[in-house]
Amino acid sequence: MSPEQIQGEDVDHRSDIWSVGVVLYEMLTGEPPFSGDYESAVHYAILNEEPKLYHEIEAGYSSHLRNTVTKMIDKDKDKRYQDCSEIKYDLEKCLEVKRENKKPFSKKLYLLAGIITTIILLMVSFLLFSPKNYEEESLKSLAVLPFINERNDPETDYLGMSLADEIIDGLSYLQNIVIRPSSSVRIYKGKLTDPISAGQDLNADFILSGYHLKDGNVIRLNIELVDVPNNRILWRDQIEEQFDNAFRMIDDISEEVITGLKIELSPDEYARMRADIPKNSVAYDYYLRSLSCDLTAQGNSAAIELLKKSVSIDSSYAPAFSELGLRMSSLEQNLLMGRDYQKMVEKYYLKALDLNNNLLTALHDLSSEYTELGKYDEAMKLIMKAYKINPNDATVNFRLSYLYRYVGMLKESEKHVQRALELDPTNTRLRSIGHTYKYLGKYQKSLDAYNLDTLTAWADANRGDIYLKMNNVKMAKKCFEKVFEQESETFPAYLAQGMLSFIQEKNKKGLQITHKWEKKDPYDSEMIYRIAANYSLLGDTAGCVRVLEKSINGGFFCYDFMLNDPFLDPVRNDPKFQELLIVAKEKHEAFKKKYFPEKR
């Protein structure tokens, strides 16, 4: 990536010239000119360091060739070659220098000249015939709908959602197509749905749908792949398999989708898709049943019991441990189960990664657990690995933005927020990207993000929070009151009750509720910050600074937001609060220095 791309400047064909220069440098030296353990380290090297192996180019070829490569990867695009013809001219001059010096013209240099000519021709073709647009290429998207049971059999209904979920997880490793997550298609569970209508609602280019039937130990799927924009069926097929080998059926379907959509599959992608094979059919059945459980507190509890049975029978199947971590985490965050519960969540994710260190769900979900705990080195390591596996996965981009917002890298968080929305604009689980927009003061965009979720108390509570920041007390009150219709002893309920008490000028009641919330001892440092904000609004300065210190030390130091959050205005003149702001700034700057040194 050229320096101007990293810095967010406008790019043109000179960025392509840079890229060719990077490739040429590596061809000549065997090493890339810029490297690092993390993406941010590579960015720093590109912006601040010089390649160290120019001498090898001169030793093996000539100083003229070294100068040509140097000019191609000049950090200043105005000092770079401005046209491909200039590069061609200088490369030909390299050959002339060899001839004039009457030195043997090596086969190696002839081969190099041929490769360079090919690269230049390809680049010229790209510049001449592609649109003058250097935005990221728009990817096609696929949604896998829950399959419909051909038989009225409640005992086997779970297979419709669980088989679709398994196909989705396998295809999520593909970088060349965006796969809608199971959370987005779950609303179609058990419903006979027109694939074209579903595709339009999900903003998906392709829909995979069909019917399932389990007869004894045999399972059969009748499936079709539909091209939504063109309203046509690309292919239909019937696949039958022994239930003991259901995972093979899933592999077969995935391969048919890949073939039908003409997707290029790398060896790594293929290996990751097939990395996990269940060893016990009973354990796998428990796992499949868990995938069908709803994402409610009751559904998560049921899924946890099924998953515990699954892993007790087969302790070698990584996805079961990852799903167990996810379900327990979801239950904990809403019901405030406590730190001991969180340790179990971490244990299950780590077990999943011990069995399969490339398991995408475990990588990005555990990174968020570590983010909430302030373990940023661990979180960065995990999420950057997930990002390398599939940078075009909406959840991966969301989890990366999640980390960046906790540490106050709000522009970087917004970048990945926007990418997540581009990749999956209807995914309700992306709702908390509204926090990033809130911290940036972009309240309408924040509301739009929370409006991805129109059903839960969590979304209502956060919409009320935004309306209150916008001084729309009437709408804030309406949102907070709606929370009470759904929940009581949960995070959204505590937030809503405290804020409603503030609106009604019942500060004593609000403080009692906020103190009760604090006593639940949540481990999420961002949630702890929200408790501090409640104390501030309700007039308890001592309570605010006490909890704010805990939040900052726990890992939430979004410094710019703390400077501008109107909910903290009542405590800004407090000396202890001023000291805490300095601590938050120091932690923010330390993170920036380590992972984004070019932005200091």
Determine the structural domain holding residue 119 and report its residue range.
Answer: 3-129
- CATH number of the domain encompassing residue 123: 1.10.510.10
Residue 54 domain flag: yes
Residues 531 and 518 sit within 8 Å (Cβ to Cβ): yes
CA distance 320 to 174: 21
Residue 349 domain flag: no
Q: Measuring CA to CA, which residue among 386, 392, 356 is closest to residue 370?
A: 386
Residue 329 domain flag: no
Residues contacting 315, CB < 8 A, separation 6+: none
Q: Are 21 and 67 within one domain? A: yes
CA distance 10 to 180: 31
Residue 368: other Cβ atoms inside 10 A: 21
Q: Are 124 and 145 within one domain? A: no
pTM of the model: 0.73
Residue 396 domain flag: no
Q: Are 63 and 171 within one domain? A: no
Total domains in the chain come to 2
Residues 32 and 25 sit within 8 Å (Cβ to Cβ): yes
- CATH number of the domain encompassing residue 198: 3.40.50.10610
Q: Are 109 and 158 within one domain? A: no
Residue 136: predicted pLDDT: 46
Q: Where on the phi/psi map is residue 98: left (φ > 0), alpha (ψ -120 to 50), or beta?
A: alpha
Residue 336: predicted pLDDT: 58
Residue 113 domain flag: yes
Residue 60: predicted pLDDT: 56
Q: Are 111 and 196 within one domain? A: no
Strand 206-215 and strand 218-227: the pairing is antiparallel
Residue 499 domain flag: no
Q: Are 24 and 69 within one domain? A: yes
Q: What are the average pLDDT values for consecutive 10-residue runs of the chain, which has 600 residues?
A: 80 88 86 76 81 69 77 89 79 64 51 57 48 54 91 86 88 89 87 90 92 85 90 86 77 81 80 83 89 86 94 94 91 66 89 94 94 92 94 93 95 93 86 92 93 87 94 94 81 89 93 91 90 96 96 95 95 96 96 81
Residue 310 domain flag: no
Q: Are 123 and 154 within one domain? A: no
Residue 62: predicted pLDDT: 66
